[in-house]
Amino acid sequence: MLRGARGEAVAEALRGQIEVGDFFGAERFVPVSNVHMMGDIEVMGEGGLEFLRRTAESGARCAVNTTTNARCFDFGYAGRLGQSPENVAREGVLISCLREIGVMTTDTCINYQAIYQPHLGEHVAWGDTGTVIYANSVLGARSNFESGPAALAASLTGRTPAYGFHLDENRAGSLLVEVEANLESLSDWGAVGRIVGEKHQDYWAVPVFTGIDRPPTADELKHLGASLASHGSMGMYHVVGITPEARTEEDAFRGHEPTSVITVTNNDLANLYAGYDTGDGSANLVVFSAPQLSLYELKRLSELLDGKQTSESTSLVVTTNRGYKAAAENLGYLKNIERAGGVVLEGVCFYILDGVARMRTEYGWDNLVTNSAKLANIIKAHRYNPVLRTTEECVRIAVTGRIEDP
Amino acid sequence: MSNGNSISVFRASGHVVEGEALISTEGFSPRYDLDRLTGAVSRPGHAIAGENIAGKVLFFPTAKGGIAAGWAFYDLASKALAPKAIVFGRTNPVMVQGAVFAGITIAEGWSEDPSEIFRTGDIVRVDPQKKRIDILKRA
């Protein structure tokens, strides 16, 4: 492969992977069964698009099934959101290049719910931090954070260097988190992720949760992981008695002692919610996104919004993938959400929307209310003022137009 | 170990490069802290807000941000706005993958805090093979 038997683009991809592997002291490659990559015009820029064009023209093709993460346009809403037609066109070119290489442009950040669930011990190369932490923690599959170019390289070569979470020794727990709080809403799980992640920002830290008193749902673990990854740059966690490499606490720590112990109480959660600045109290925008909503989350939202009407001064935006939007339409959830005044975007995530910073000023979206601790973290980069609330509170706020105290 | 003119790094990759040091006490994301059209650190309140990273040797205690940073370095390099080297105290694979893909020298982990040894504006040499950073000229 290095000598160019599969073309120069593949050889170049492999050379880059060897360099990354050497940096981390990898001794070998592992074959990957599946690749999930981030590739859209907002993150790639003109330089990235040029690279993709050359790769497509060279004839290089994916060696394993490869899917894409959420992107920055829902083509059906680009006009309504005032997104630049020029960028829409470039995104179209980019998608054509990806498809020519053999990438399935699924445009979802919840591939682990909607598309593929690798099994215990299966090596994959996934991008989007939320997908990686879910694969490692909940499924017991093995992946590092593979950024766009690294995931594409893995797709072309069918392998990835064996470092980080591909190796047993890095999957052992390092922090003990004793959960004394009652985790009810999805936002509570994200809040715990923030409390742990903010204090221990470290890719190599692996928190071990104890005290979770009931089996969590996939959506709850999704919000916990997305928040840990966003606030703490973390790629793996264990929940004792729940996740596959943590049958017991000893199992999770693999014989090591925790480097520190954190306790999370109901009081910690209350303080966290109260800590968000609500500005003038007006709810300009309520967002359900980051990660995209599952079909169950869409169902819940539809029930909460049934017969309600959002305030005239409040926009309600929801993001999911194409498959779940179609299913929600079929099941009547979409009609309920839209009738209440909500907009359901497909194939995107709110914070990567092209022009998201402009939308804040143009639409007066200063206060952003959400049940996603990840979104509340990341959206600050675009100068929004985030407020984290439970799903039920978010819906009430969208209806009244006023941000209530938690 | 230090003679006051150099530091050791734990891991490094890329070419030997020489350039002006730019030292930050705050972590960095090429996606959220940077104006990718000019190379200037644009997030208000960032420790080195207003500084331009093009052609510099950057020092950051940590990496911030997610997967998207991987493409950002390549985009910067294609606009001739890339730094010569990036040295992190602690980083994640995204920064390493992104730097390697963009041909930017990258290093992680240091024997002592670079802000104790170097000043912004010093000319330094990063040698990934020797895992060492030396001062060539004081600012």
Beta carbon pairs, A and B, within 8 Å: 114
Considering the domain boundaries, does residue B14 fall inside one? yes
- Put simply, the answer to whether A38 touches B96 (Cβ < 8 Å) is no
Stretch 26-55 of chain A: residues touching chain B, C-beta under 8 Å: 38-39, 43-48, 50-51
Please give the full DSSP string across A199-211, using - where no structure is assigned: HT--TT--EEEE-
Helix A186-199, helix A266-274: angle, nearest 10: 90
What type of residue is A228? Answer: L
Among left, alpha and beta (phi > 0; psi -120 to 50; other), residue B14 is left
Number of domains into which chain B is organized: 1
How far off is chain B from A289, nearest CA to CA, in Å? 16
pLDDT value, residue B2: 55
**Residues in chain A where the model's pLDDT stays below 70:** none
Q: What mean pLDDT value characterizes chain B?
A: 93
Considering the domain boundaries, does residue B1 fall inside one? no
Residue B66 pLDDT exceeds 80: no
B67 has a chain A CB within 8 A of its CB: yes
Among left, alpha and beta (phi > 0; psi -120 to 50; other), residue B40 is beta
Residues of A whose CB is below 8 A from B61? none
How much is the average pLDDT of B98-115? 96
B137 has a chain A CB within 8 A of its CB: no
pLDDT value, residue A340: 98
pLDDT value, residue A257: 95
CA distances from A391 to A185, A272, A353, A377, A388 (A): 7, 16, 22, 17, 9
Establish how many alpha carbons lie within 13 A of residue B55's alpha carbon, considering only the half-sphere containing its beta carbon.
Answer: 5
Give residue-wise pLDDT tens across range A210-263: 999 899 999 999 999 999 999 999 999 999 999 999 999 999 999 999 999 999
- Put simply, the answer to whether A48 touches B100 (Cβ < 8 Å) is no
The single-letter DSSP state of residue A404 is: P
- The neighbouring-strand residues paired with A371 are none
Residue B16 pLDDT exceeds 70: yes
Stretch(es) of chain A classified as CATH 3.30.499.10: 8-161, 280-400
pTM: 0.96
pLDDT value, residue A226: 97
Residues of A whose CB is below 8 A from B98? 147, 149
Q: Could you tell me the pLDDT band of residue B1, with boundaries at 50, 70 and 90?
A: very low
- Put simply, the answer to whether B75 touches A48 (Cβ < 8 Å) is yes
Spelled out in words, what is the top-level CATH class assigned to the domain A280-400? Answer: alpha beta
Out of A45, A145, A150, name the one closest to residue B75 (CB): A45
Helix A41-57, helix A148-157: angle, nearest 10: 30
Residues found in chain A: 406
Q: Where residue B17 sits, what CATH number does that domain have?
A: 3.50.30.10
pLDDT value, residue B65: 72
Residues of B whose CB is below 8 A from A381? 29, 31-32, 43
Q: Does domain A8-161 have CATH number 3.50.50.60?
A: no
Range of the domain at B17: 6-137
